Chain A
Amino acid sequence: MKNLKIVLGFAFIAVSFAVNAQDNAGLKLPNGFKATLFANGIGSARHIAITPNGVLFAKLMYPNKGGNSIIRMEDKNNDGIADEVSGWGKYGGTGIFIKGKNLYATSDNDVFMYQLNDKDEVENTASPKTIVKGLIARNQHASKSITLDGQGNIYVNIGAYSNACQEKDRMPGSKGMMPCPILDSAGGIWKFDGQKENQVYGDGKRYATGLRNVVGLDWNKQTNSLFVMQHGRDQLNSFYPTLYNDAQNAELPAETMYEMHEGDNAGWPYIYYDPYQKKKILSPEYGGDGKKEGGENAIDPTVFFPAHMAPNALLFYTGNQFPEKYKNGAFIAFHGSWNRAPLPQEGYFVAFVPFKNGKPSGAWEIFANGFSGLTGEDKVTNPRKAKARPCGLAQGPDGSLYVSDDSNGSIFKISYSK
């Protein structure tokens, strides 16, 4: 009897493993792709970064139960599941990036740099170098995302602490400020030296402006330029019910991808991008009526997506593991919407846009779905019910794609085999 129990127990464990492997950690993926739950319950995992040896680091929005806000994960037996998990750091934040042996991590005000040893461990976790300090963080859009180019420069998003630069933020009838004073010190991407310590605003340069908030950004090595994903404005119908109904608000404005060269302006807060008219439309706070165009000096998006889906990560795929169509294309992690209510929410997936010679070469598509765990009638009607919300992306040395989730602290590893 006892033996039978043990045998049954083992059988059960074996079956659970098989089911777990078969169900791709709950994700829906294109044919030939598989996913494993690389890590789970590590905390509010925002962005992730990986070393050439495959050691993964995650930045947490809050310190987790163990009191750590930077998590190191290593899969020593190479089974797709991290077997060594450790951490440090008391400050919450979003940004993390690895360049050579430098590990960058951000709080909402600062950029820090740690040194990795030859085992990709950080020995001196208590005293990182402060690269940038004193950046504006005023509740809204306070997180700092980072990326580096090939020249040793670091690009930092400084989000606008406002929805549409009204005199009184998110107040019905309050006019847009002209010019928008927020743009002096936020609402754009700032460029700093990647090595120099204790830099402040004056040491950096406003690289690109007119961006309400960017969480996902990546340096495209093929075009040698910066690409960003903007979070579009909210609440057109709440403030202008005579111009926009609930259904229009759910679809306006588009979430947009921009290629930003030095000095470029994406137009916030004066305009938003309408995906149906395919035009830059004057914001109602600045006299717009849903039709009047604006933003003569603003650039057009490279790609646009449905509204409010909250693109939180962007990654240009340079690996060799995935099929040819994915090479140099863009993966985008959509955290998932809230401002489409009372209509059902959208996003909560990873999308893909094929690129050829640095330009989009086809329509965007959903690459990985099922993160929310909600389908059919249970389709996400409330973000808090979503099991997982995609937030960060990283490409492993073998070409696998890692996706982080800041809801339950899961890391998914997506791989392809013929």
Chain B
Amino acid sequence: MHYIKFLAVFFLIVGIKTNLSAQDLLKGKKIYETRCLVCHQADGGGVPNMNAPLDGASNVVGKDIARMVRIIKKGYNEKVALDGFYYSNAMTANPDLSDEDIANVLTYIRGSWSNKAGKVSLAQVKAAKSKSH
């Protein structure tokens, strides 16, 4: 009996967790479509020589979450060297996105197309922000 209760609670937690992250992904996808897609394209492939790809990009699936948070928040206007190519276009800042929005869109970007990197939490975004100030 205890065993069954334990299992039920376990599945509830797992269920909620999966459910939550699926919702986060959906929220992230929506932000991606309205803010990012026009330059980074539907398949995250970017535009050769202009807008950097997100799909398969080493620094998108990498560990420097703070850098990504900073770029989304403040934009970027330097020539980006990424995986052997250069990208020249300026990226728009998104000062109005909330920390939660940023966590969701980063989770979406890092887990979409061929990307298999982990979820970005609200705490990670907050920590990144305190570092960049």
Contacts and interface: CB of A to CB of B under 8 A. Distances in A.
A238 B34 CA distance: 8
Contacts of A170: 75, 90-92
Contacts, number: 69
A170 B43 CA distance: 22
Nearest to A250: B38
Interface string A233-253: 001011000000000000000
Interface residues of A, number: 27
Interface of A is mostly: loop
Given A338-B41, A338-B51, A384-B47, A139 B78 contact: yes
A139 B78 CA distance: 7
B39 A171 contact: no
A384 B91 contact: no
Nearest to B39: A338
B37 A341 contact: yes
B47 A238 contact: no
Contact of B92 (A171, A339, A341, A381): A171
Given A139-B89, A170-B90, A171-B93, A381 B47 contact: no
Interface of B: 33, 37-39, 41-43, 45-51, 53, 75, 77-79, 86, 88-93
A407 interface: yes
Interface of A: 44, 61-62, 139-142, 163, 168-172, 235, 237-238, 338-339, 341-342, 381-385, 389, 407
Nearest to B46: A384
A383 B79 contact: no
A191 B39 CA distance: 34
B90 A169 contact: yes
B88 A171 contact: no
A170 B90 CA distance: 7
In this complex, which of A140, A169, A238, A384 has the most chain B Cβ atoms within 10 angstroms of its Cβ? A384
B77 A338 contact: no
In this complex, which of B38, B77, B91, B93 has the most chain A Cβ atoms within 10 angstroms of its Cβ? B38
A238 B88 CA distance: 19
B75 A384 contact: no
Nearest to B79: A139
